Each structure stands twice: as C-alpha cells, then as structure tokens.
Amino acid sequence: MKLKSSTTISEEKVCWAAFYHLGVRGEKNIRCLIKKFGSLPEAWNYFKNPKLCRGALQCASTGLASKIEKFSLEELESDLIKHQIGIITLDSPEYPGKLRQIKHPPLVLYYKCRDALQCVSNTESVLAVVGTRHFTAYGKQALNHILPGIISRKVTIVSGLARGIDIRAHEITLKQKGRAIAVLAGGLDEIYPPEHKFFAQEIIDSGGLLVSEHPPGTQYLKQYFPARNRIISGLSDAVLVVEAKEKSGALITTSFAFSQGRKVLAVPGSILSSQSRGVNSLFQKNAIPVQQSEDVLAALFGRKRNKFCGSAAKQRLSFCQEGINLTTEESRILKNILLDNPIPLNIIIRKTGLPAARAISTVTQLEIKGVIELADGGYIKLLN
C-alpha cells in the first residue's frame, strides 16, 4: 500500500523535520528562523555555510551549525521515500487539532497510512486504550466486554502497539473492522516490538495510521517512551486504562491526560492483584470507573450517546415489522441485550432467570433467525 505523498516531499517540510531532529524545539523557535530568513530552507543554507554563520541566534543552540554540517537533508528525504513515510508539520492543515492544543506539541509527525488528510485530520471521537504489558485473564475479558460496543460507534482507538493491553486493543479494533492509530517511540522504518510488524501493516491496510515524532533510523530508546505517551493522550478525547501496576507507563499516559484536560477512564480491578494497584489508585484522582461500553460512550458523548445506543425494545419492534416471529422466551432474552453492546451468555441466563439449557437453546434459535450473532469470547450481540 503506497502513500499518496511517497513520491514528493516539500523542501520546507524536510527542513522542519531536520531542525526539529537536531534540537530546535518549540514553535516559537521555528517561527523565529522563518521570520529571520524568510523560509526554513534559507535558514538551513545559512547555518550550512560557516562563512555566513557568525555566532548563534536566540532561536538556535550554539552547536546547531556543527550539527547541520554533518546532517544530510537528501539522505533524510531519501529514507522517507524509501520507507513510504510522510511528514506533517505543525502548520500543516492536516495536523491533528486535538494534539495541536496540548502543551509542547510535536512540531513534526512522521506517519504511515494510505492518505494523511483522511487518516490524521479527523473530527471523530478518539479513545486511547493503555495498560499493563502483562495482562491477566481478567484484563483480556474486560477488553473483550467493553471495546466492541465502542468500536461499533465509529470511535477511533489509539494505543502504543506495545505488548499486553496495547496490542490486544489494536487486535480487537482490527477484528471489529474499526479504525486504529498506533503511536510509536522510534523510527517508522522499524516496528517495535518486531513481532507486531504484522499488526502494524494491518492497521495501515485497514485505513488506520502509524505515527511517530522521530525520523526513520531512530532507535527505540527507553527515554522516548514517556514522550510518546503524551502524543497518545494528546490525540484522544479520553484515556481508558485496563490493568496497571503502581509504576507503569500507562500511569504516565494518564498523568499527561489529566494535565491536557482529557477524561481518564479506568476499569476497576481486584484489590488483591498487583496488576490493578496502579489503575485503582486513579479513582483517588477522579478517574471515571468503567464497567461496560455504555460508560465510555457516556464519557465521550454525554447525553448525545442516546442517539447511538438504541433500545432493545425498538430493535424487537423492527424485527416484528420485518415479519420475524419471536417467542416469549426469545423476546425475554432480547430485552436484556443492548443494541451494539455484546453481552456474555452467563449474564443473559442470570438476568432472564431461564434454565441454562433453555437459554442456550433459545439463543441458538435467535441466531438461526438472524436476530443475533455470537461475537468473540462467547459474547452475544444484536444484528443491526
């Protein structure tokens, strides 16, 4: 899958990327260079020429000229084209609006997707999902229970492609044919961890996005991951945490989220589990407890969520209008299934009070009639 912009990259954008990579931080300093020289390519040529460069400007470090002397713009551009990586700068119209609003937004984003304008600049709701790298069966069940109903409402899921909760969130999103964004902490020419390369390609092929603030060739160093987390929360309307230890990268993401004014949502965990101590501590900081997808939708959309989550009664009326005859027990089961919110069979049995064997038989009949379908993990959901 080739990028639309893989064959041409403007000199101005390449210079943005180069100056940012070499240590010119903050929009103010970039604007200073543009104001002084008229354009970034002109500024680059100035620092490239030792005869012209006398001392340092206020907007540039004293060592910038020596760094530029050893840096090749042509090599950077060649690497971007070779690996089909695009550039978005802070002044680009497709730069994500939510991210632009945070403190110290990255001046440059490197991306891989089919279409930058479509993939990056979006007005849809975005939910970040983060958590431990060593999730338990409970964490997996929680994601299977909560995420499908959110993804079906066209909410984009963003995470870090890391082992554990991150990759599980991406995996569920892809299975549900949702839109995923993966934020990486190194160059997009390499995927870390390497075993997730397949998922990274799937994200691109499904219309999603890989993004990083680092140019190709940048190694995945430990110090880059916390900065990566500020982008994950910055792209999002809310951050959902599923299992996290007391000292966890997920908690770094929530710290950024709180400071950026994002909502922080958390799935309560066992007080006896070390994997839940960090996530449970978030409730002392006014994180919103989440038990089902409806809780997340309420946090994202407020009262507007009602237009997304129709009632089972309306759905049953639709079935009747289509000539599908429902038995008393079938209607009884449907009454307890929310539209687009998968529910485990054992919950249906408990809510309806039907004997297990009878409930399973009735569910089978509903599936045969094309009223419901079985989702991943033994969950049941209504067909739209």
Question: Where does the pLDDT of residue 378 fall: very low under 50, low under 70, confident under 90, or very high at 90 and above?
Answer: low
Listed by start position, the domains of the chain span: 124-185+221-306, 312-382
Buried b (16+ CB within 10 A) or exposed e, 136-167: bebbbebbbbbbbbbbbbebbbbbbbbebbbb
Per-residue pLDDT of 92-130, as tens digits, reads: 888 888 998 898 899 999 999 876 555 555 557 899 999
Identify which of 241, 255, 254 has the alpha carbon closest to the alpha carbon of residue 139: 241
For the chain, what is the radius of gyration of the CA atoms?
A: 24
Which of the pair, 65 or 190, is modelled with greater confidence? 190
Query: What pLDDT is stored for residue 6 in this prediction?
Result: 41
Tokens of 115: 């279409």
Query: What pLDDT is stored for residue 106 in this prediction?
Result: 92
Per-residue pLDDT of 317-365, as tens digits, reads: 455 545 567 788 888 888 777 555 677 777 788 778 888 778 888 888 8
Distance of alpha carbon 347 from alpha carbon 89, whole angstroms:
49
3-state class (DSSP) for residue 57: coil
- Pick 312-382's CATH classification: 3.40.50.1480, 3.30.200.20, 3.40.50.150, 1.10.10.10: 1.10.10.10
Query: What pLDDT is stored for residue 8 in this prediction?
Result: 60
For range 139-165, the mean pLDDT: 93
Q: Compute the mean pLDDT over every residue in the chain, rounded to the nearest whole number.
A: 83
CATH class of 124-185+221-306: alpha beta
Per-residue pLDDT of 278-322, as tens digits, reads: 999 999 998 999 999 999 998 988 744 434 344 455 555 455 545
Buried b (16+ CB within 10 A) or exposed e, 233-248: bbbbbbbbbbbbbeeb
DSSP 209: E
Q: Percentage of the chain with pLDDT > 70?
A: 84
Q: Which H or E run contains 110?
A: strand 108-112
Q: Which H or E run contains 368?
A: helix 356-368
pTM exceeds 0.85 for this model: no
Query: What pLDDT is stored for residue 112 in this prediction?
Result: 93
The CA angle 126-130-133, to the nearest 5 degrees, is 155
Distance of alpha carbon 347 from alpha carbon 303, whole angstroms:
26
Query: What pLDDT is stored for residue 318 in this prediction?
Result: 56
Amino acid making up residue 142: A
Beta-strand ranges (E) seen in 121-266 are 126-131, 156-159, 180-183, 209-212, 238-242, 263-266
Identify which of 88, 137, 141, 91 has the alpha carbon closest to the alpha carbon of residue 111: 88
SS3 content of the chain, % helix, strand, coil (to 5): 50, 10, 40
For range 68-93, the mean pLDDT: 88
For range 27-51, the mean pLDDT: 83
pLDDT at 166 over 90: yes
Question: In 70-157, which residue ranges form alpha helices assigned H by DSSP?
Answer: 73-82, 97-100, 116-119, 137-151
